[in-house]
């Protein structure tokens, strides 16, 4: 599902004085004449339909534009290291139509149709507004899939075309084809706690991650056995007729279908309540501890990794969102066990972005993004969470203000000395300063 710039970015965008609207200083996206050739493997049916890059109707300043940012990735230092999987919740034609209007304030690099056709909307080097997190946008490629999460109507042609495109992009930009780097929109962290409730949950509980990973040639690590405390488990329930968890949020109870997640409970019993998100409990307007398909707070998804906190009979507890979360895992039926490595141990602060420090922004002469609003998450003492994504991430921030990079210090990448480690904290990734 589409998600525009973060609120922080929008606030920033209106806070800066403007100097004209002359054409770009950083990007060189073609806006006139024939559209560029799509960046696509030759074996796919690809076309280019440019997303809007223009002022919104009635704009009072050059800061009010859509639907993406000019950049020059990866040559400008902004590595492309993540693929974000979305679904449209509308027809392909309607989604493309929206992306071609700047008032929509959202875009994606690619859209895969139900027939397996590929439409590129934003050049890879530019930053599409798709993840609802400016840091993740700056380092990712967003791919929309025509379909509806709760109808589970993604086609085989769609899965195959998407996987072929992602393999090609991974080779082009050096993106590891694993679940730390190929993620759902539902796994993108909120930039801060105040935005948690608005974060999207596509492609939803029925996206067939197992099948998609097989098409990518990705094998999940681990052995199918009962795990031991302190080991890592990779969530991997069967996808088929013998595993059809009850889900609500279709008209009522959804039809029995295979799904890509396990429910997480407060105790080692099918009668124990589903876990709830502490922030949601504290007042966020999001469902938590429910069987709703949209409720990501009590579901762990195929490919996500966690540290084992306890084992009792057929039940495995993982550290998840600061609590012990139990799932039914007889003989490893729902997760692969492996030796733990690279875990982040508490206490450790968490954030939804890996931005430079205030002094780095001051040194660059660029206004710092607004400080995170609301309570923050943290890894409690005594708990551990698997690091995601290998090497520490340099902190950076891609500053944008006006259309065509026309404002002072516009389209500038601010960097800092602090590095961050990504980790699997709950259903979504998180970042912590590297120690
Ligand atoms: Zn989305």
What is the mean predicted confidence (pLDDT) over 343-347? 95
How much is the pLDDT for 326?
Answer: 98
Tell how far the Cα of 12 is from the centroid of ligand 1, in angstroms: 23
Tell me if 32 sits within 8 A of 131, measured CB to CB: no
State residue 34's pLDDT score. Answer: 66
Q: Is the pLDDT of residue 30 over 70?
A: no
CA 322–ligand 1 middle distance (angstroms):
26
Question: Measured in angstroms, how far is the CA atom of residue 2 from the centroid of ligand 1?
Answer: 5
| Residue pLDDT, tens place only, 237-262 | 999 999 999 999 998 899 999 999 99
pLDDT tens, residue by residue, 54-90: 999 999 999 999 999 999 999 999 999 999 999 999 9
CA 268 to centroid of ligand 1, rounded, Å: 33
Query: Mean pLDDT score of the chain, rounded to an integer?
Result: 91
**Ligand 1 is an ion; residues with CB less than 5 A from it:** 1, 86, 185, 200, 202
The 3-state DSSP class for residue 263 equals strand
- The Å distance, Cα 342 to ligand 1 centre, comes to 29
Q: Ligand 1 centroid vs 142 CA: distance in angstroms?
A: 8
Q: What is the predicted pLDDT for the residue at 252?
A: 84
C-alpha span between 122 and 30 (Å, rounded): 11
Q: What is the distance in A from the centroid of ligand 1 to the CA of 434?
A: 29
Q: Which domains does the chain possess?
A: 7-433 (3.40.80.10)
Tell me, in angstroms, the distance from the centre of ligand 1 to residue 199's CA.
9
Lowest mean pLDDT among 141-145, 157-161, 227-231, 391-395: 391-395
| 69 Cα–ligand 1 center, Å | 18
Distance CA 222, CA 306 (A): 12
Q: Which residue has the tokens 């002072």?
A: 408
Residue 1 has pLDDT above 80, yes or no: no
Residue 376 has pLDDT above 90, yes or no: no
**pLDDT (0 to 100) of residue 2:** 55
Q: How far is the CA of 140 from the centre of ligand 1 (A)?
A: 13
Residue 3: what pLDDT?
A: 56
Quote the DSSP letter at residue 49.
Answer: -
Say how many Å lie between the CA of residue 186 and the centre of ligand 1: 8
Q: How many residues appear in the chain? A: 435
How far is ligand 1, taken at its centre, from the CA of residue 1, in Å? 3
pLDDT digits (tens, 9 = 90+) for 187-223: 999 999 889 989 999 999 999 999 999 999 999 999 9
320 against 193, higher pLDDT: 320
The count of C-alpha atoms lying within 13 angstroms of the C-alpha of 296, restricted to the half-sphere facing its C-beta, is: 27
- Give me the percent of the chain exceeding a pLDDT of 70: 92
Q: Is the pLDDT score of 18 beyond 60? A: no
pLDDT of residue 389: 84
Work out the average pLDDT over 378-399.
95
Residue 13 pLDDT class (50, 70, 90 cuts): very low
Q: How far is the CA of 205 from the centre of ligand 1 (A)?
A: 13
Rounded distance, CA 7 to CA 13, Å? 10
pLDDT for residue 36: 80
What average pLDDT does this structure show over 267-295? 93
Single pTM value for the model: 0.93
Measure 20 CA to ligand 1 centroid, in angstroms.
33
- Return the pLDDT at 15: 31
pLDDT band at 340 (very low <50, low <70, confident <90, very high): confident
- Predicted local distance difference test score (pLDDT) of residue 370: 87
Q: How far is the CA of 215 from the CAs of 24, 158, 171, 367, in angstroms?
A: 39, 11, 15, 43
Q: 293: CA distance to ligand 1 center in Å? A: 15
Q: How confident is the model at residue 383 (pLDDT cuts 50, 70, 90)?
A: very high
DSSP-derived 3-state class of residue 392: strand
């Amino acid at each position: 599902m589409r998600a525009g710039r973060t609120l922080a970015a929008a606030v920033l965008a209106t806070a800066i004085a403007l100097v004209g609207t002359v054409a770009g200083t950083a990007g060189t996206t073609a806006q006139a004449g024939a559209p560029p050739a799509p960046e696509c493997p030759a074996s796919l049916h690809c076309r280019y339909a440019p997303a809007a890059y223009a002022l919104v109707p009635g704009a009072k300043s050059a800061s009010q534009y859509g639907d993406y940012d000019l950049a020059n990735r990866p040559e400008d230092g902004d590595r492309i290291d993540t693929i974000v999987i979305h679904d449209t919740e509308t027809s392909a034609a309607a989604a493309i139509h929206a992306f071609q209007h700047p008032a929509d304030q959202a875009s994606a690099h690619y859209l895969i149709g139900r027939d397996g056709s590929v439409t590129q909307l934003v050049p890879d080097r530019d930053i599409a507004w798709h993840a609802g997190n400016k840091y993740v946008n700056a380092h990712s490629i967003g791919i929309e899939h025509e379909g509806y999460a709760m109808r589970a109507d993604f086609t085989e042609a769609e899965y195959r075309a998407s996987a072929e495109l992602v393999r090609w992009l991974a080779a082009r930009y050096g993106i590891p084809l694993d679940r730390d780097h190929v993620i759902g929109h539902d796994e993108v962290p909120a930039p801060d706690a105040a935005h948690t409730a608005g974060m999207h949950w596509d492609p939803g509980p029925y996206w067939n991650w197992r099948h998609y990973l097989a098409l990518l040639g990705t094998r999940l690590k681990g052995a199918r056995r009962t795990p031991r405390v302190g080991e890592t488990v990779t969530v991997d329930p069967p996808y088929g007729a013998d595993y059809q968890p009850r889900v609500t949020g279709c008209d009522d109870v959804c039809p029995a279908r295979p799904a890509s997640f396990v429910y997480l409970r407060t105790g080692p019993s099918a009668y124990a309540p589903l876990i709830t998100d502490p922030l949601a409990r504290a007042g966020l307007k999001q469902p938590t501890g429910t069987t709703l398909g949209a409720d990501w707070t009590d579901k762990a998804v195929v490919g996500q990794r966690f540290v084992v906190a306890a084992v009792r009979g057929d039940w495995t507890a993982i550290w998840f969102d600061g609590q012990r979360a139990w799932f039914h895992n007889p003989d490893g039926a729902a997760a692969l066990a492996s030796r733990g490595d690279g875990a982040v141990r508490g206490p450790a602060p968490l954030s939804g972005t890996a931005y430079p420090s205030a002094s780095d922004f001051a040194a660059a002469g660029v206004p710092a993004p607004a400080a995170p609003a609301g309570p923050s998450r943290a890894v409690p003492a005594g708990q551990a969470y698997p690091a995601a994504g290998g090497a520490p991430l340099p902190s950076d921030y891609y500053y944008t203000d006006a259309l065509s990079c026309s404002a002072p210090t516009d389209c500038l990448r601010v960097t800092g000395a602090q590095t961050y480690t990504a980790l699997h904290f709950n259903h979504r990734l998180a970042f912590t300063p590297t120690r």
